[in-house]
Amino acid sequence: SSWFRSIEPAPKDPILGVTEAFLADQSPNKVNVGVGAYRDDQRKPVVLECVREAERRVAGSQFMEYLPMGGSIKMIEESLKLAFGDNSEFIKDKRIAAVQALSGTGACRLFAAFQQRFHPNTQIYIPVPTWANHHNIWRDAGVPMKTFRYYHPESRGLDFSGLMDDIKNAPDGSFFLLVLTAHNPTGVDPSEEQWREISSQIKAKGHFPFFDMAYQGFASGDPERDAKAIKIFLEDGHLIGLAQSYAKNMGLYGQRAGSLSVLCEDEKQAVAVKSQLQLIARPMYSNPPLHGALIVSTVLGDPDLKKLWLKEVKVMADRIIGMRTTLRENLEKKGSTLPWQHITNQIGMFCYSGLTPEQVDRMTNEFHIYMTRNGRISMAGLNTGNVGYVLDAIHEVTK
Ligand code: PLP
């Protein structure tokens, strides 16, 4: 029959294409700095010790029943404390509508669907550039999208004045997607002072800030520090939306553990919003997965395991920060005359190197180093064994 005859294959995801090419390469020197998942110094994926211990504790102790539609209450409680602070008045006043979500992606998608249902004609502004999936998520949810300036290619830093102008010039009462912290793909975050100005401008315009926080703790090594911008916005009296993910900071990538929260004006509104979020989730996946939620609530709910987690997340962050320093210092030592401060100014999994697509092609063709053509280097792909080889290649193609 002709049901599917006219369907063309979907375009390939550029990152999967990089991985495929890497796997097909036979060179012993090959390096993959394309994919955004943490690896230790021996290039191995990591299961955190706190996670292994939590798994031991939950093994066999739980039934495999359905979670409630909104997910694990305990996991949500712990997630809110992590993002809003242990003693948050908003938690005490029950002003936050929160549900477990299918990791950060699912949280964004659920919020986008919520937005589409209740504010179908209000556009969301997303940064240029941003994680490519942001486009897909809000597009598929049917939300009108606009962009705001974020990255400044010349300085390889923040286009702060462009960003502020775009916030100012957006129609009052727009949604703004703010990526918090360790911006993907650029690694460029606003400073604390800049966040204050952004918050006050967003307030003045009556915009709604939606935060996508996929790397809390993974950026600086300190979850509280990484969530600082949220605190600033809360102090300024915003209502906010927030997507949280445990993929990177707890290494739970495939468990799809995350949460979505919406700060409301009062408890009554929070009850209504939560019930609507559940109503959207119900026909999509009914209820969220159990295992990752058990791990998160066990780790964050036990003081000793939480302490261990804080230590382990700092080890990951510090390894990446250390790689940045090695990369920058050695490029400078080699006599590269280009500016490389941005490598250490940027933070998190990714470094927006500034390599041009042509230079990236040379990295791949001549040196077997695989990365996306926008010049994004996944710092987690670097280690003491290959960083020297990679920086030699960068030096060579940028001469
Ligand atoms: N948001 C940003 C900015 C990301 O970089 C990522 C992952 O790369 C995500 C969200 C979502 O990740 P996950 O759905 O695995 O939590």
* Tens-digit pLDDT profile for residues 315-328: 999 999 999 999 99
Burial 316-349 (b: 16+ CB within 10 A, else e): bbebbbebbebbbebbeeeebeeebebbebbbbb
> Residue 131 catalytic?
yes
pLDDT (0 to 100) of residue 231: 97
Ligand 1, residues 186, 189, 248: which to mutate, most atoms within 8 A of Cβ?
Answer: 248
Ligand 1, residues 131, 136, 346: which to mutate, most atoms within 8 A of Cβ?
Answer: 131
How many C-beta neighbours within 10 Å does residue 269 have?
15
CA of 333 to the centre of ligand 1 (A): 35
* Ligand 1 atom with minimal separation from the 179 CA: 3
For residue 23, CA distances in Å to 16, 67, 321 come to 11, 39, 27
pLDDT (0 to 100) of residue 35: 82
Would you call 57 helix, strand, or coil by DSSP? Answer: helix
pLDDT (0 to 100) of residue 201: 98
Contact present, 154 and 210 (Cβ < 8 Å): no
pLDDT (0 to 100) of residue 168: 98
pLDDT (0 to 100) of residue 245: 98
* Ligand 1 atom with minimal separation from the 258 CA: 16
- Rounded to whole angstroms, the Cα distance separating 381 from 58 reads 32
Ligand 1, residues 79, 109, 245: which to mutate, most atoms within 8 A of Cβ?
Answer: 245
Contact present, 377 and 33 (Cβ < 8 Å): yes
Catalytic residue among 159, 248, 274, 309: 248
As for ligand 1, residues whose beta carbon falls within 6 Å of it are: 36, 103-105, 131, 179, 184, 212, 214, 245, 247, 253, 258
CA of 104 to the centre of ligand 1 (A): 5
Q: Is 25 left (phi over 0), alpha (psi -120 to 50) or beta?
A: beta
Catalytic residue among 166, 212, 309, 340: 212
CA of 3 to the centre of ligand 1 (A): 34
- Rounded to whole angstroms, the Cα distance separating 55 from 57 reads 5
* Ligand 1 atom with minimal separation from the 134 CA: 1
Who contacts 145 (Cβ-Cβ below 8 Å, separation ≥6)?
123, 124, 125, 126, 135, 138, 139
Would you call 370 helix, strand, or coil by DSSP? Answer: strand
Ligand 1, residues 15, 102, 105: which to mutate, most atoms within 8 A of Cβ?
Answer: 105
Enter the DSSP assignment of 181.
Answer: S
CA of 245 to the centre of ligand 1 (A): 7
ipTM given for this complex: 0.99
> Residue 309 catalytic?
no
For residue 154, the one-letter residue type is E
CA of 89 to the centre of ligand 1 (A): 28
What residue ranges of the chain have pLDDT lower than 50?
none
* Ligand 1 atom with minimal separation from the 246 CA: 16
Q: At what angle do helices 73-84 and 228-235 cross, to 10 degrees?
A: 80
Task: Give the position of tokens 């590269």.
Answer: 336
> Residue 140 catalytic?
no
pLDDT (0 to 100) of residue 15: 82
Which ranges of the chain would DSSP assign to H, the alpha helix? 14-24, 49-58, 73-84, 89-92, 103-118, 132-140, 160-169, 192-204, 223-226, 228-235, 267-285, 291-301, 303-333, 341-345, 357-367, 387-397
CA of 61 to the centre of ligand 1 (A): 30
Residue nearest (by alpha carbon) to ligand 1 atom 8: 36
CA of 390 to the centre of ligand 1 (A): 26
- Rounded to whole angstroms, the Cα distance separating 277 from 45 reads 34
